[in-house]
Amino acid sequence: ICIMLFIRILRHLAVVSFVYFLFLAYVTYKPYSVPVNEWKEAKPPYPSNTDDNIFWFVQVSDIHISKFIDPKRVPDFTSFCSQTLDVIQPKLVLVTGDLTDAKMRNRVGSTQYKVEWETYNKILRDTDVTNRFLWLDVRGNHDTFDVQSKDSLNNYYKKYSGDKGKLTTKPYDLILPFGNYSFIPVDATMTPGPKRPFNFIGHLDRARLQQLQLEGESRKSSNLTVWYSHYPISSINSASPPSLENIVGQTGDLYLSGHFHDFRGLAPHQYAMHSQGFLELEVADWMNNRRFRIVSVDHDITSFTDATHGQWPIVVITNPKQSTFMIPKHEPIGRIAKSSHIRFLIFDHSDITHVSLSIDGKLLDEKPQNIKGPLWACRWYPDQYESGNHILRIHVQDKLGNTKDVSSQFTMDTSWSNIHDVASILVLLTNFSSLCQVAFVLAAVFVLSVLIVIKQYGAPLPLPSGSSWPFKLRVLLSDNFTFAVLFLFILNLLIGPMFIGNLLTDKVGVAFVYGLLIDGHIYSEHMLYLYGFITIVLFFTPVVAYLCHCADLKLNRNCTFIETLYSCNRTTLANILFLLHTMLQVLWCRDLYNAYGQTALLLSPARLWWCVASVGLAVRIW
């Protein structure tokens, strides 16, 4: 019962934090809007029943090939590279990071395993996928765990990636008969790459941002520019100006990423329109969900669908485009109203036996025709749908009996909305780096202020039994030693080291809340602010609350710890919860040991030292 109660308390704290972040996301979110006179001009040709002016590509992310878990991951990915891609026949494949897992068997420690990279490379060679398709695989944070530099011997990406990283160090221009299409990589991995968990946020310094800006400006004449990275923009800490959002917004139609997986099912579809005028799409992982994305470019208008490996058929509606994802700043969406045919792609490893279309529940008189390969078209009259929102539905069945029903909302006027679901706004449009920093600083300053004010200006002792929490805190802080320990702990979180340990296998570094000190340089990692905030909320505040209760109890009743265990009252429950909380702190210390070694455990004011201090203060009070 006590364990369940403790878990419930933690869950309530998580819910409160989640609601807080939701509130901030909605407050800061600006709906995307572009005046009609700033839309990209819609010149001919217009979508019809011909097979020109269209191509498609595939994105897959977070493969996490591991030597320890999920043995089906490798054969499934092999099947994807051979059979699935053979059916789809994309112009190129974007693999947006975390090619390998790089986690130890305990799932906490991390390092690069050569066998994982050899397995990844063997899949590419055995399926010949890099020769059959253009293969662009960028690094993710797992691919840089415990990697000192790009020239390190354990930087296996340089040897075992699709083309040894040559194509993904600079933009790639896909030149087709009907236009030029640019793909610009954003490698935001840390260099050096420390071990996990403090290698989660992406980083772009000013020089790299300026380089990206030049690369984007040099491709303003491209029909379409796609930016791709492992990290969503919200998880990249970058110098500014210019901001990455503004750089991408100048030329970018799409920003494609991975990294967040699907938030354990809480956010399976992470799509958001930035106020700078581009669409950001995070794809769910291959690791657990076997997900991948097909993006079509039909007459320079992009559409996409997220699919699961092994599930057929796959349908991508390319015209009319779904209104939620309109990008009039970079796409000639006016071509939709001047098109003569509905167009869509059907991918299947079996023959298609039936296709039917309906708009607003009414079947179309015209029958859809297979134009060439996966491209289908059906005659329509867009002037019949000039105003309002309409629903297009397509039903597909193949020879094996597999069926697929897809629907898309479209409009011919300007009445669409680019506001996506709450999870997408929270995940993709919230600046987590700044949010964690502000949350930690406010929490730490607040706690320090409370300690000082209560200590200096609190009510004189003795205090009556059953007093409010400020009075209980005054009783606790009347002991100068206890006050000093609590004050110095929070002060150290603000300005001192959180721990000292092997941030890399051969490098001892220092973790401050504001960054990692390695070889005399500070490398920003805003996850440390989150770590500090969690320390205050989940590990400091409950201990102080327990100590306050015990101090008040000792002052007014002078009972012993053993007596409270047999009394079966509220204090008994508090003692049990404190013991459970101490066990949780021990587990947290174990994770630090597994991640960064024995030195980090012994020299960790934020973990081991505080665990010992909290028990010591409790013993001192009793």
> Burial, 510: exposed, middle or buried (Cβ in 10 Å; 0-12, 13-18, 19+)?
middle
pLDDT, residue 16, reads: 57
Query: In what helix (H) or strand (E) does residue 353 lie, and over which residues does it extend?
Result: strand 352-359
Question: Which of these three, 394, 428, 462, is where a domain ends?
Answer: 428
Judge whether residue 467 has pLDDT over 80: no
Judge whether residue 397 has pLDDT over 50: yes
pLDDT, residue 240, reads: 72
Q: How confident is the model at residue 155 (pLDDT cuts 50, 70, 90)?
A: very high
Q: Is residue 3 part of a domain?
A: no
pLDDT, residue 400, reads: 95
Q: Do 106 and 217 have their domain in common?
A: yes
Judge whether residue 215 has pLDDT over 80: yes
Q: Do 567 and 507 have their domain in common?
A: yes
Question: Which of these three, 428, 463, 484, is where a domain ends?
Answer: 428
pLDDT, residue 565, reads: 61
Domain count, the chain: 2
Average pLDDT over residues 88-97: 96
Q: Do 91 and 224 have their domain in common?
A: yes
Judge whether residue 415 has pLDDT over 90: no
Average pLDDT over residues 267-278: 88
The label of the residue with tokens 């008189």 reads 365
Q: How confident is the model at residue 573 (pLDDT cuts 50, 70, 90)?
A: confident
pTM: 0.90
Angle between helices 570-596 and 2-28 (to 10 degrees): 70
More confident residue, 432 or 110: 110
pLDDT, residue 183, reads: 97
Q: Is residue 529 part of a domain?
A: yes
Average pLDDT, the chain: 89
Judge whether residue 410 has pLDDT over 70: yes
The label of the residue with tokens 């502000």 reads 438
Judge whether residue 318 has pLDDT over 90: yes
Q: Is residue 5 part of a domain?
A: no
pLDDT, residue 256, reads: 98
pLDDT, residue 38, reads: 79
Q: Is residue 14 part of a domain?
A: no
pLDDT, residue 459, reads: 61
Judge whether residue 15 has pLDDT over 70: no
Kindly report which listed range (208-217, 551-560, 608-617) carries the lowest average pLDDT score: 551-560
Judge whether residue 615 has pLDDT over 60: yes
Q: How confident is the model at residue 11 (pLDDT cuts 50, 70, 90)?
A: low
pLDDT, residue 29, reads: 57
Kindly report which listed range (50-54, 141-145, 383-387, 415-419) carries the lowest average pLDDT score: 415-419
Residues 6+ apart with CB under 8 A from 10: 538
Question: Which of these three, 393, 428, 463, is where a domain ends?
Answer: 428
Q: Is residue 382 part of a domain?
A: yes
Q: Which two tokens stand for residue 75?
A: 């054969």
> Burial, 442: exposed, middle or buried (Cβ in 10 Å; 0-12, 13-18, 19+)?
exposed
Q: Do 398 and 462 have their domain in common?
A: no
Q: What are phi and psi of 64, to 5 degrees?
A: 55, 55
Structural domain boundaries enclosing 452: 432-621
**Residue 138: alpha-carbon gap to chain centroid:** 16
Q: Do 198 and 308 have their domain in common?
A: yes
More confident residue, 601 or 558: 601
Q: How confident is the model at residue 168 (pLDDT cuts 50, 70, 90)?
A: confident
Q: Is residue 42 part of a domain?
A: no
Q: How confident is the model at residue 2 (pLDDT cuts 50, 70, 90)?
A: very low
Residues 6+ apart with CB under 8 A from 537: 13, 17, 443
Q: Do 403 and 440 have their domain in common?
A: no
CATH number for 174: 3.60.21.10
Q: Do 579 and 550 have their domain in common?
A: yes
Q: Do 107 and 245 have their domain in common?
A: yes
Residues 6+ apart with CB under 8 A from 518: 192, 194, 503, 504, 507, 509
- What percent of the chain clears pLDDT 90, i.e. is strictly above it? 69
Q: How confident is the model at residue 199 (pLDDT cuts 50, 70, 90)?
A: very high
Q: Do 462 and 419 have their domain in common?
A: no
Q: Do 226 and 104 have their domain in common?
A: yes
Judge whether residue 60 has pLDDT over 70: yes
Q: Do 412 and 521 have their domain in common?
A: no
Q: Is residue 305 part of a domain?
A: yes
Q: Is residue 23 part of a domain?
A: no
Q: Do 414 and 443 have their domain in common?
A: no
